[in-house]
Amino acid sequence: MTAHCKRVLVTGGTGFVGGAVVQALTRKSGVEPVAAVRARLTDDGNPLPAHHVVLGNLDEHTPWGAALAGVDAVIHTAARVHVTNDQAADPLSKFRRVNVSGTLNLARQAAAAGVKRLVFVSSIKVNGERTLQGKRFKPDDACMPQDPYGLSKYEAEVGLRAVAAETGLEVTIVRPPLVYGPGVKANFAAMVSWLSRGVPLPLGAVVHNRRSLVALDNLVDLLLVCATHPAAANQTFLVSDDEDVSTADLLRRIGQTCKAAASASGGAGIGCRCRGQGRYGAALAQQLAAGHFQNQASAGLATACVFGRRLKAHCFCLYIVLFNKPLFLF
């Protein structure tokens, strides 16, 4: 962190990504993270971060004034996330209220409070659901969101750029693919449990697709750099780990890990890729991949079973649903 970024507000401060960002900032000398949370109690019963602000639900009415006091940068991870088999009568309106209206309300109040930069965690779904064979997504591709979640993230990006133009707030957009790491819950937890018990899954024949994933620690590293690096202002970045895997390979590696008796093993860190857009995008992407963003045996990668590390199945799952999901090539 630079000397000009001493107080960082992290929305979704107890969530999967936001919580990891708060922990990483806590380890930075001279930086005070402030976690914006919905409630005084976390879902898992863990204590709230030392510096936190309870704000309730994220929407167009959320009062950010107290949370933004003295803040230099905002890392916005809070969102209504993609839900499989969403039962809402009108899911798009619910996504828009949180991901669009809530985000733009935060951005406008941040600009008014004198915040210099807002880092927005968007989604690769803004680009679309799949790439053609041999092609890869790029930040300047025509956006083709195909579900309510992706559309809401796209509309938030458009609105944020307008706020930036109107107010001078620097906005940096990061579009991650599927994120994995310790602490992820929901759909994939069940699959890991099945594999650990030797239950066969009907996906082992899916060998020709390729999926881009990003390790939680790698994503966090990028978000921290984007909060402070001068060249990251008003840029859009796509990011993934340095290996794309087929569904069959993913299942095979997790299955092998579930059979392992050891809880962890070492190994070299896995590199990452970052593609930038804008005047400084190429130079920054190269710098992040080669320096700031190259992850060296971080805790998340050291315990990532998808890349061959060993750990107990109950400690790890992926934020991914394998059925009818896109082909991502970077």
Which residues are known to be catalytic? 149
Full strand arrangement of the beta sheet holding 73-76? 52-54, 32-37, 7-11, 73-76, 117-121, 170-175, 236-241, 272-277
Phi, psi of 45, rounded to the nearest 5 degrees: 80, 0
Alpha-carbon distance of 96 to 160, in angstroms, equals 14
Angle of the 216-228 helix axis to the 16-26 helix axis, nearest 10: 60
C-beta separation of 136 from 330 below 8 A: yes
How far lies 203's CA from each of 131, 162, 178, 246, 264, in Å?
Answer: 20, 43, 18, 10, 26
User: Counting beta carbons within 10 angstroms of the beta carbon of residue 54, is it exposed (0 to 12), middle (13 to 18) or buried (19 or more)?
Assistant: middle
Residue 321 and residue 203: Cα distance in Å, rounded? 12
What's the CA gap between 179 and 85, in Å, rounded?
Answer: 20
Strand-pair category, 236-241 with 316-318: unpaired
Question: If DSSP codes are grouped into helix, strand and coil, which group holds residue 136?
Answer: coil
Determine the 3-state secondary structure of 272 from DSSP: strand
**Element containing residue 10 per DSSP (H, E):** strand 7-11
CA dihedral sign of residues 151, 156, 162, 168:
negative
Chain centroid to Cα 136, Å, comes to 19
